[in-house]
Every structure is written in C-alpha cells, then in structure tokens.
Amino acid sequence: MQLQAQYAGYKQVTNTEDFKKQFSKAAQGTQSIQCDFVQDKNLSMMADKIVSTGKFWFKRDNKVRMEYEKPTYYLLVINGSNIKTKDSQKENKVSAKSNKVFEQVNQMMIDCVQGTALDNKSFSTRLFENGQNYMVELTPLAKSLQGIFKSINLTVDKKDYSVVKMDMLEQSGDNTVISFLHKQMNVNIPDAVFSVK
C-alpha cells in the first residue's frame, strides 16, 4: 500500500462537496484579481532558497499575467489557450494546445483562480483543513507532469475561499511556494494587460 502524504496541522476532509460549492461560489463572484506575489524556491539539499517577487493579474475568463520583477525580469501571459513568455532577450508565443505540459499547467492555474481545481481531470485530488485554511492537494496523473511535480498544493483561505498560496512540490524534495499578497478583487483591468500578440 502506498503511503500518502499528511501535512502538519491539517486533517483530511472526506466530504468535499461543501468545499467545492463554496470554492466555486466564491470564484464565480471573482471577475478579476490584481495582487503582488512572492515566490520562494526552496532548495532542500542546499538549505537555501531563491526569492522572486512580482505582480499577478487574473481576469475572467482564462486570462492570467505574471510579471516577475526580481531578481530577474520574466513575463508569463496566459490568454485562453495562448501563452506568451518574455525574458530579458526573447519573446516566445505558444499555443497551450501544442504542448501537453503547458496545457495541463495552464488549465491548473486557471482552475485555481476559477474555483474548479477539484474537477481537473489531469490530477487526483485530496482535501485537508486546519482552523484557518483548506488545502487542496493536486497529484498529477500524466507522466509528463509526474516527472516534474510530486504534487501541487493550494492553500485556500476559509474566510473568503481565495487562494492564499500555491506550493509546487518536486520529486527531488525541493518546492516552490507562490504567496499572493495585497489582493485587490474585481478591479478594472484592461484586456491589453493580457495581450499575447
């Protein structure tokens, strides 16, 4: 029998229906999100981490923009099935449909902010809770993603069912935590912010 991960301070929730309803309801009321983010890349064997910061935008439907400012510039824009990335030297445009890993990561990010993370068919899911938060554990089913991630865990605030942080755990023991801060909900964000042209 395979041992499944448990998380300190969390207990598993077996009946996930109530959470699904509330998470989906809160997400339905979210037309847009604008916030800062802090990304901690924890390197377990090195006992060190790389901290990145930037800005995050989401707009219904299927539009996400992540702009890394420090320590280095990087732009990721998801607009439907189109993805644009830009580093200090090169801009790249791809269709998520042309790359399975991209498509799965794209769908996972959209599901996180649209409240449909538990319904994503590319992952098996488990739900945990503590006093303040729920945690949705997404374990990839596709081999392409399994080679990179052991699981992707979303921490959801019990107060407003918004995603507080996303923790991507790698097979190597390293993980990347993206924390969303200073959230502004339902502010007007021009479509040009999500331009992939």
Partner 1 sequence: MRYFRLNSELSRKSKVESKKCRSLATGFCCVLVSLLLFTNCKSYYRNLRPGSGDVNCVRQFSPRFTNTLYSAIIDVTKHHFSGILFFKLMPDSSTRIVFTNEIGVKFFDFAFSKDGTFTKYYLLPKMDKKVVVNALRSDLRLALLRPDLSEAKVFTDDGYTYITLPDKSGNDHYITQGCEKLVRIEKASKRKPVVVVQMLNYINGVPDSIDVLHKNFKFHIALKRVER
List residues binding partner 1 (CB under 8 A): 39, 41, 43, 45-46, 48, 50-52, 66, 68, 70-72, 74, 76, 87-90, 92, 147-148, 168, 170, 172, 174, 176, 178
Least Å distance between CB 191 and partner 1?
Answer: 24
Question: What does the H/E/C string look like for the chain?
Answer: CCCCCCCCCCEEECCCHHHHHHHHHHHHCCCEEEEEEEEEEEEHHHCEEEEEEEEEEEECCCEEEEEEEECCCEEEEEECCEEEEECCCCEEEEEHHHCHHHHHHHHHHHHHHHCCHHHCCCEEEEEEECCCEEEEEEEECCHHHHCCEEEEEEEEECCCCCEEEEEEEECCCCEEEEEEEEEEECCCCCHHHHCCC
CB atoms within 10 A of CB 185: 15
* Comparison of 127 and 138: residue with beta carbon closer to partner 1: 138
* Comparison of 20 and 165: residue with beta carbon closer to partner 1: 165
* Comparison of 117 and 178: residue with beta carbon closer to partner 1: 178
* Comparison of 51 and 187: residue with beta carbon closer to partner 1: 51
Least Å distance between CB 25 and partner 1?
Answer: 29
Least Å distance between CB 157 and partner 1?
Answer: 22
Least Å distance between CB 33 and partner 1?
Answer: 18
Least Å distance between CB 188 and partner 1?
Answer: 27
* Comparison of 5 and 43: residue with beta carbon closer to partner 1: 43
